[in-house]
Chain A
Amino acid sequence: MTHIHQTAPGSTPTGVGCEGLDARLVVQRGSFRLDVALTVAPGEVVALLGPNGAGKTTALRALAGLVPVSGGGVRLDGAALDRIPPESRPVGVVFQDYLLFPHLSALDNVAFGPRCHGASKARAREIAAGWLDRMGLADHAGTKPRRLSGGQAQRVALARALATRPRLLLLDEPLAALDARTRLEVRAELRRHLAEFEAVAVLVTHDPLDAMVLADRLVVVESGLVVQEGTPSEIARRPRTDYIAQLVGLNLYRGTAGGHTVRLEAGPVITTTEELSGPVFVAFPPGAVTLFRDRPSGASARNLWRCEVAGLETHGDQIRADLTGELTLAADLTAVAAAELGLQPGATVWATVKATQTHAYPA
């Protein structure tokens, strides 16, 4: 992967190496193996996106020094981070359920870090008050964590992590503990704070929306390995695994292209507008699929498959039909259309997709 390393304004490069994070994390735990390479420039926000159990949190804990690495190496701003004990690393962590110290007020929670870094009690509180003020929490300085709302607790956790002026900010599922409404609000706010943060930020999430809103770049991790990385729009347009395709709501196939047709490994052929050759991916959204009860007469035979309904579920205000048969795909249709077609599990339907609705790209 090529990546432009920016030099943060006002900082001097320290000898060899570069600014930012350059890590390869290898953690072996039983039969699970995590092997992830991660390069992040200062000012950049990278999201590790992946299903539960993919090893995202383990990667984050390894960066924080809370999990021993079995191999690889971590360099932050040119210095070997993996030789430094966790309490001395210039790293701030926002934990999944925040882990605010329940016996300390919001102010003392934020002052904890500066205090451990040698500030006097008064100075540490001054720093903490400044951070709470920036987070719009000046009125809640004396509040104990259990009296804070989810959104407030999240901001205190962020303030606490930032108060030590870390060069690497780690956020573990920063929005997972919030209800849907608060989440919307806090997500926008967190995006603003992350945009202001001048050093490296790495966040872990299983929510594609969180990842796409908060991060400049996504690194998708599955079963301990990086399966794809790129900007949110790249990933959304050109998923390379079923997991990502599902996340971004696309039907995804892998096959061999020859001109305008792509032959899938299982046999069926998809006609595309792109002209490619060799191994490719083809993707199209479920909404692009049209279903017919009987084989449509007169329609071109392109992209027409005989399928069987495997399952139906509501998907927003649409009905999503899972189809198997000549091609396995998901199709979205309105409730009215579903009723008119008499869709039910086991029913036979004809599915068609226009070539212009498909998107093919090299594998």
Chain B
Amino acid sequence: MTGADTSRAAADTLTGGPRSGRVRRPGVPLPLMLPALVGLAFLLLPLVALLARAPWRTLPDQLTSTAVWQALQLSLVSATAATAVSLVLGVPLAWLLARTEFPGRGLVRALVTLPLVLPPVVGGVALLLALGRNGIVGQWLDAWFGITLPFTTAGVVVAEAFVAMPFLVISVEGTLRAADPRYEEAATTLGASRFTAFRRVTLPLIAPGVAAGSVLAWARALGEFGATITFAGNFPGRTQTMPLAVYLALQNDPAAAIALSLVLLAVSITVLAGLRDRWMTAS
């Protein structure tokens, strides 16, 4: 319906004028319309402000500084690595939750989703207690293999994966539940072991769900702040990801913070656009 149509429809409604044979579409009630518009403005206003106050003149200088590139590179690499970890561990976990029966499965699913609702800072503290130098597992990693995770780039990946993996597990599990398990049975009758059936039939069938889950996990990892700063600290070039850099810059150089934020916004919009084209057009 075009704008002209809308206004004519509104006029018709006001005057109670006759309508041509079309079924009248009821108007949007004010109690719904008003909050909806406020909500929309609430979501968009901060983004508009970010663009309005962006230091466009000095932006090229800001963005070419090594600190920015270091942080961006670290963010992209660690978010991608965290997504890879989530895929390798999360897809089998989702399969286990969706396709097998074992006692306490409901509890396990609840525990898997816990990091979704857990404040990331708490997650960071928990990671320190588990994988820190004196953590219940970390002390053995240190003693036996000389591996220390906290305050390293690997630590960033661990923190991000901890927070992002549940997104992937939930997404893939949902897709698996919606997928017809009889395809696996068909594969079995053709001589495929359960793993072959998973690899050659199930995985290709749920690929769109896995991809969507990966993008969600990647975006969540990219924006991770609380768990990262708690577990991995804030060392430029090593553990200082973009969100950390933004926060730090805001203290002494707001213009730099805005520039960094614009970069993250651009990355997010690119991801969203890619997601829309590939997996969201169907819905």
Chain A positions within 8 Å of B, measured between CB atoms, are: 64-66, 86-89, 91-93, 95, 99, 101-103, 112-113, 116-117, 160-161, 164
Contacts and interface: CB of A to CB of B under 8 A. Distances in A.
Interface in B196-251: 196, 200-201, 204-205
Contacts of A161: 189
Given A102-B205, A103-B204, A116 B182 contact: no
B182 A99 contact: yes
Given A99-B183, A116-B196, A64 B201 contact: no
Contacts of B264: none
Contacts of A116: 187, 190-193, 196
B267 interface: no
B189 A86 contact: yes
B205 A103 contact: yes
Interface size class of B (residues with CB under 8 A): 10 to 19
Given A93-B189, A101-B183, A161-B189, 11 more contacts: A66-B185, A87-B188, A87-B189, A87-B193, A91-B189, A92-B190, A101-B186, A116-B190, A116-B191, A116-B196, A117-B191
Given A101-B201, A103-B204, A164 B191 contact: yes
B188 A66 contact: yes
Nearest to A170: B189
A113 B196 CA distance: 11
Contact of A113 (B191, B193, B201, B204): B191
30 contacts: A66-B188, A86-B189, A87-B192, A87-B193, A87-B194, A88-B191, A89-B189, A92-B189, A93-B186, A93-B189, A95-B182, A95-B186, A99-B180, A99-B186, A101-B186, A101-B204, A102-B205, A103-B204, A103-B205, A112-B190, A112-B192, A112-B200, A113-B190, A116-B191, A116-B192, A116-B193, A117-B191, A160-B190, A161-B189, A164-B190
Contacts of B188: 65-66, 86-87
A81 B183 CA distance: 22
The 7 A-B residue pairs whose C-beta atoms are closest, nearest first, are A116-B191, A113-B190, A99-B186, A103-B204, A93-B189, A116-B192, A86-B188
Nearest to A166: B189
> B188, B189, B204 — which one has the most chain A CB atoms within 10 A of its CB?
B189
Interface string B160-187: 0000000000000000000010110111
Given A99-B183, A103-B204, A112-B200, A66 B190 contact: no
Nearest to B201: A101
B187 A112 contact: yes
Contacts of A86: 188-189
A312 to B, nearest CB: 41
Nearest to A108: B200
A113 B190 CA distance: 5
A2 to B, nearest CB: 32
Nearest to B205: A103
Nearest to A103: B204
A118 to B, nearest CB: 9
A99 B182 CA distance: 7
Contacts of B185: 66, 99
Contacts of A117: 191
A91 B204 CA distance: 25
A102 B189 CA distance: 17
A160 B205 CA distance: 19
Nearest to A97: B182
Contacts of B180: 99
Contacts of B196: 116
Contacts of B189: 64, 66, 86-87, 89, 91-93, 161
A66 B200 CA distance: 19
A161 B196 CA distance: 17
A23 to B, nearest CB: 17
